[in-house]
Amino acid sequence: MVQHTKTGVALVGSGSAHLPIAVTNDDLSQVVETSDEWIATRTGIRQRYIATQQESLVSLATSAGTAALEMSNTQPTDVDLIILATSTPDDLFGSAAQVQANLGASHAVAFDLTAACSGFLFALVTAAQYMRTGVYKTVLVIGADVLSRWTDWSDRRTCVLFGDGAGAVVLKASDRDRLLGFDLRSDGTLNGCLNLPYQADSQALTSDKTVQKGTYQPVTMNGKEVYRFAVKRVPEIIEKALFHAGLSTDGIDWLLLHQANQRILDAVAERLNVPKDRVISNMGRHGNTSAASIPLALDEAVRDGRIKAGDVIASSGFGAGLSWGAAIFEWG
């Protein structure tokens, strides 16, 4: 393996997939007992996008990756590593290699990373470690999920929250490290608060032996517990990441959180004393897209000119596991 001399990390391109089908709150009011006002007041969500029959996790991830490579003027054959953060792969054996093939990134190694709504941030930090050791110099990190597959559309507590999406960033080796600080955490004692569980179904194999051939069940969530967890833990871990970066909240340009619930974003921003106009949110249009939410919101803000080269971003992902993390990085 060739060692490269540049061991800093620069985030140089972003991309996202564009889904054609939006499901509005009014649409959901025809499915469950709810209303646009009820959903928007409690979550900030007005609509969410869902994948069509022709789309897949791989196709969405490929679209996002292609857009990120194009923005960064990177040829697919220059990519050394692809990390696909997803909890909803097309294939339980992994979907990253299919994305690698679709992109034509023939020199890249590719693997899936599963950490649900924390997945993109965990993948970003993982990618940086390969680069800081000098092993890889160009990495594509993709966050993608198709939660519509695993949503109970008769459960109004969860079906109003989730949408499908994909976002990606390109990382390149640099003389100056733009990943300024990070911190990652997990607490498995809270695992039962948010799950997409496997449920076994016993079937006779022989006269005295059985096998467990079940399937995965729709998403379940204890919304109150997840809210309390996020409002407490996310500001703490952002402050720890800022400490590692040698910064305070006054030194950041943007707060970019996993898009779980607008009330969580507002509460975290208030605790950190970050003005609302420095909080990036696309919650109203996309809902909770799990691992896709951070890179999707990032890409929109880069493309519409809000985020500019040199801007410092404090980002945090949080969710199933329960897991949470924060990263402070400079864009461009």
Report, as residue numbers or ranges, the catalytic residues: 117, 258, 288
- d(Cα 290, Cα 114) in Å, to the nearest integer? 11
Could you give the count of Cα atoms lying within 13 Å of 80 in the half-sphere of its Cβ?
17
Q: What is the DSSP string of 175-214?
A: SS--EEEEEEEE-GGGGGGEE--EE--EEEEETTEEEE--
CB-based burial, 104-123: b 16+ in 10 Å, e otherwise: ebeebebebbbbbbbbbbbb
Residue position matching structure tokens 């110099």: 137
Whole-angstrom CA distances from 116 to 25, 143, 300, 327 are 24, 10, 21, 17
Phi and psi dihedrals of 282, rounded to 5? -125, 25
Cβ–Cβ under 8 Å, residues 269 and 279 = yes
- d(Cα 326, Cα 210) in Å, to the nearest integer? 44
Residue partners of 315: CB distance under 8 A and separation at least 6: 121, 255, 256, 257, 294, 298, 326, 327, 328, 329
Q: In what order do the strands lie in the sheet with 254-257?
A: 179-186, 323-330, 312-319, 254-257, 279-280
Phi and psi dihedrals of 112, rounded to 5? -85, 150
Cβ–Cβ under 8 Å, residues 121 and 315 = yes
